[in-house]
Chains A and B, each alone.
Chain A
Amino acid sequence: MYKILAREDLAPITKLMVVEAPEVARKAQPGQFVIVRIDEEGERIPLTVADFDRGAGTITIVFQEVGKSTMHLGTLQPGDGLASFTGPLGEPSEIEHHGTVLCVGGGTGIACVYPITRSLHEAGNHVISIIGARRKDLLFWEEMMRSVSDELIVCTDDGSYGRKALVTVPMKEILEQRDDVSRIWAIGPAIMMKFCCLTAQPFDVPIIVSLNSIMVDGTGMCGACRVEVGGRTRFVCVDGPEFDGREVDWNQLLARQRIYLGEEKLAREKFEHECCSKHESSGSAV
C-alpha cells in the first residue's frame, strides 16, 4: 500500500495528492511518470510526477477527473492507500543550459510542465512560461510557475482571468518577437500540443511534447502506448513520454486515445451510479 499523505483540490475537477513512495522519490526526475492502480479491480493509469521530495520520500501527482479511475482516485482521502504506485517510468527531460526556453502548460499540463520548468530555471536558462486553462477556476499553480520563470504569461480561453487567448497566441508572439528561443516544452491535452507544434513549425525551434497515450504496463512490454514519431513506431512509455512534437503523428495519437470511448462511458456511469447510491445511503455530502 502506498499511503496518501495529503490532498488539495486545485480546481473543481483537478486534485493534487502527495503519496508516500520513498524509493520512487529517490529516483524521480522531471518528465517522468508513475503508474497508479487504486485497488485490486483497478486499471493501471499513468500520471506525471508533478513534484518530488527526496527528503520526505514523497511524490506529488495532479490529476483531472475525466473518467472512472480518476474520479475514483478523487474520492480518496489522506490516510487511504493505493494498491500500486510504480515508477519512476519514462525518460527524464533533457535539462541543460539551452539559453532561452519557452514552457507552455495547458490545463492539468501545468502540473506536468512545472518540475521541468523549475529544473530548466535552476540550470540557468532564461525561462518564459505560458500557462492557460479554459476558465479562471481551472487555473492553478500560477505563483509556483512564476517563482520558477523569468517571465510568465497567464491566459484563459474565456478571458475570465489573465489574457483572453489560447496558449498558442502568446506563444506565436514571443517566437515572432525574439529569435533566441532555443527550445520549447508544451504539455497539455493532445489537441493543444498539436496546435502548439503547428504554431512553432515556421520558426524551426525544437518543441518537446509529453504524449499521453493509453498505457497498460508502462515498461515496454505491451505496445498499447505506441505511436508513430518521425515515421517510426515508438513506445511512449519507454522511448518517451517526451518527443520532438514536429515529428509526432497527431492524428494517430488522437485516434488511439479513443479506442475505449464506449467502455469508458460504461465504467463512468456504473461508478457514478454506485458512488451516488453509496453516498445517499451513508448520508454524506460529497
Chain B
Amino acid sequence: MPETTKTKPKRPKPGAIPRQEMPRQAPEVRRANFNEVALGLTMEMAQREAQRCLQCKKPLCIAGCPVEVRIPEFILALSEGNMPEAVRLLKDKNNLPAICGRVCPQETQCEELCVLGKKFKPVAIGRLERFVADWELGQGVETPEPLPPTGKRVAVIGAGPAGLTCAADLARCGHQVTLFESLHAPGGVLMYGIPEFRLPKRTVHAEVDYVKSLGVDLQLNAVVGKLYTLNELLGERGYDALFLGTGAGLPRFMRIPGENYNGVYSANEFLTRVNLMKAYLFPEYDTPVKVGKRVAVIGGGNVAMDSARCALRLGWQRALAKGSEPAEVTIVYRRSRVELPARLEEVENAEEEGVEFRLLTNPVEIYGNEQGWVRGMRCIRMELGEPDDSGRRRPIPIEGSEFDIEVDVVVVAIGTSPNPLVFTDAGGLERTRWGTVVADEETGRTTKQGVWAGGDIVTGAATVISAMGAGKRAAADIHRYLVGEEICE
C-alpha cells in the first residue's frame, strides 16, 4: 500500500461514530414520482462516515470488490477534504463510480468484508463512492491523457457496463475503440432496465460521456449479427480484437396457458417502455404502457422489485391526475421472503411504498376475457423442501391448493438469457447449453481466435460490477494480446 496509510491522522475509536444514514424521499411522496429515492449524503455526513474507516493495512474490503477499488485510499482523501485526489483514486479502478455507488449490492461485496462490520456496521463504502463521484460530476469531469496511439483497432459490442468498461480501459491504453450498440442509447440495463428512481439517467449519460471523452467511437443503432457479423468485423472491417458484452437480454416466459393475452408483459418490455422510452411521461413521450387496477409481478429478484415499483408509481400518478384509485401491485414469488434474490434494501423500499407480497405462490394459468385481455390468474401454493443446487430450499407445489386472483396486468420477471442474434456468422464461438458464451474467467478469452467476452453474456444475469470486472480483465488481456505488455496504470 502507498505511503498515505502510514501518515494516519488521529482517528476516532472504532464504532464511536454511527454509520451515516442517507436521506431518502418519504414513501408517501416517492411512490408517486420517478425522482431518485435516495438523496445522497452531505459533505459533512460523508466526511463523518469517512472517519469511520480504520484505514486497515490489509484492507479486506478491496477483496470484495470485483474491480478492486482503492477503497481506504479514496476514503482517506475524502476525509481530508482532498476531493480531486479522492476522485483520482476512485476512478483509477472504476470508470463508472456514480453508477456503482448506487446499484452495487455492497452488502454482499465490499461492505460484507469490511472489518468494522464484525463488531459494528461496516463503512458505507457505496454511499461514499456515490458521494465522491457525484461531487466530480458537479464539478465537470476531467479526462485523463490517453497514451500514444498503438495503431490497434478493437470492436466492443454492447454498451452495457461490461462493454463501457472494456472500451474505456482500452481507449486509455491508446487503442482505437469502436463501441457498437443495438439500441438508440448506450448503457444497457442501466438505461432500459434500472429505473430512474434508483439510477437517474443523467448519471448514466454523464458516465457514458466520460467514456466517449476518452476517444471511444460510439456507434448506436448498430445491431451486430444483422448490420455486421463477428466474422465481418474481424475480416473485412479489420478489427484486431473483439469484445462481446451483449448481456443477457432475452426474456424468459413461464410457458403457462394464457401468456399471450393483452396485458401480459415480459419485465424487459415493461421496463424498457417505462425507462428507456419514458412511458411515465406519456404523452409527452410517444411510447405508452398499460397499468391496470391490479398488477401482478412474477418473480423475486431486482427486476421484479423494479417492475413492481414502476407499476406502483404509474398507478399513483394516474390516481393523482384523475382522482381514481391507485393500482394494487403484488409480487408473486414461489419461495419465502428470506429467499428473495433481490437486494434487501430494495425489498424494504418496495414494502414501504406499498407493494404487496404473495409468497410461496406460483402462477399456473392466466385467464383472459373475450377481447383477449388478462382478467385473472390461477395460482398454486408452494411449500419449501430440501435445498437445491442454488442452496435455496426447493419450492414444491401443494396439491389441490389452487386459487384464483383478479389481475389485469401481469409482468413476468423470471429471468433472461443471452440474445443469440449476435452469434450469426460467428463460427468457432463455443456456448453452453444455457446459451451463455464459454470464456476464461481470468482473461475473458473465448474459443474463437481474437474474440473476448464478459458480463451477463458469460455469467447469465448477474451484477453491474461483476460485468465491469469482466470488462476490465478482458481489456487487460486484449492489451497483452495486442502489444504484449501488461496494462498501463
Closest to B282 in A: A263
Known A43-B277, A260-B288, A267-B286; judge A84-B272 contact (CB<8 A): no
B286–A256 contact, CB under 8 A?
no
A residues near B221, Cβ cutoff 8 Å: 84-86
Scan B36-80; emit 1 where CB is below 8 A from any A CB, else 0. Answer: 000000000000000000000000000000000000000000000
B277–A216 contact, CB under 8 A?
yes
B residues near A221, Cβ cutoff 8 Å: 249-251, 268, 272, 419
Scan A31-55; emit 1 where CB is below 8 A from any B CB, else 0. Answer: 0000001000111100000000000
A residues near B288, Cβ cutoff 8 Å: 260, 263-264, 267
User: How far apart are the CA atoms of A270 and B288 in the complex, in Å?
Assistant: 14
Interface of B, secondary structure class, is loop
Query: Shortest distance in angstroms between A36's beta carbon and chain B's nearest beta carbon?
Result: 10
B223–A228 contact, CB under 8 A?
no
- Could you count the A-B residue pairs with CB atoms below 8 Å apart for me: how many are there? 108
| Contact among B269, B272, B284, B421 for A41, CB-based, below 8 A | B284
Category for how many chain B residues contact A:
35 or more
With a 10 A CB-CB cut-off, give which of A85, A251, A259 has the most chain B CB atoms.
A259
In the assembled complex, B285 has its CB within 8 A of some CB on chain A: yes
B421–A219 contact, CB under 8 A?
yes
| Contact among B269, B285, B290, B421 for A216, CB-based, below 8 A | B269
User: How far apart are the CA atoms of A44 and B278 in the complex, in Å?
Assistant: 12
A258–B251 contact, CB under 8 A?
no
Interface of A, secondary structure class, is mixed
In the assembled complex, A11 has its CB within 8 A of some CB on chain B: no
B residues near A85, Cβ cutoff 8 Å: 221
In the assembled complex, A165 has its CB within 8 A of some CB on chain B: no
| Contact among A44, A68, A87, A259 for B226, CB-based, below 8 A | A87
Scan A78-95; emit 1 where CB is below 8 A from any B CB, else 0. Answer: 000001111111000000
A23–B184 contact, CB under 8 A?
no
Category for how many chain A residues contact B:
35 or more
In the assembled complex, B129 has its CB within 8 A of some CB on chain A: no
Closest to A264 in B: B288
| Contact among A42, A222, A238 for B272, CB-based, below 8 A | A222
| Contact among A41, A83, A223, A255 for B253, CB-based, below 8 A | A223
Known A84-B221, A89-B226, A219-B421; judge A267-B372 contact (CB<8 A): no
- Further pairs besides A220-B420, A223-B268: 17, Cβ < 8 Å: A23-B228, A43-B286, A43-B287, A87-B226, A88-B226, A216-B269, A216-B273, A217-B182, A219-B182, A220-B249, A221-B268, A223-B253, A226-B260, A255-B262, A256-B262, A260-B288, A263-B282
Interface positions of B (Cβ within 8 A of A): 182-184, 220-223, 226-228, 249-251, 253, 259-260, 262-263, 265-266, 268-269, 272-273, 277-278, 282-288, 290, 371-372, 419-421
Interface positions of A (Cβ within 8 A of B): 23-24, 27, 37, 41-44, 68-69, 83-89, 216-217, 219-224, 226-228, 233, 238, 251-252, 255-256, 258-260, 263-264, 266-267, 270
8 cross-chain pairs, A with B, having the tightest CB-CB distances, nearest first: A255-B372, A263-B288, A222-B269, A43-B286, A221-B249, A86-B221, A84-B184, A223-B266
CB pairs A–B below 8 angstroms (7 shown): A86-B221, A87-B223, A216-B277, A221-B250, A256-B262, A258-B372, A259-B290
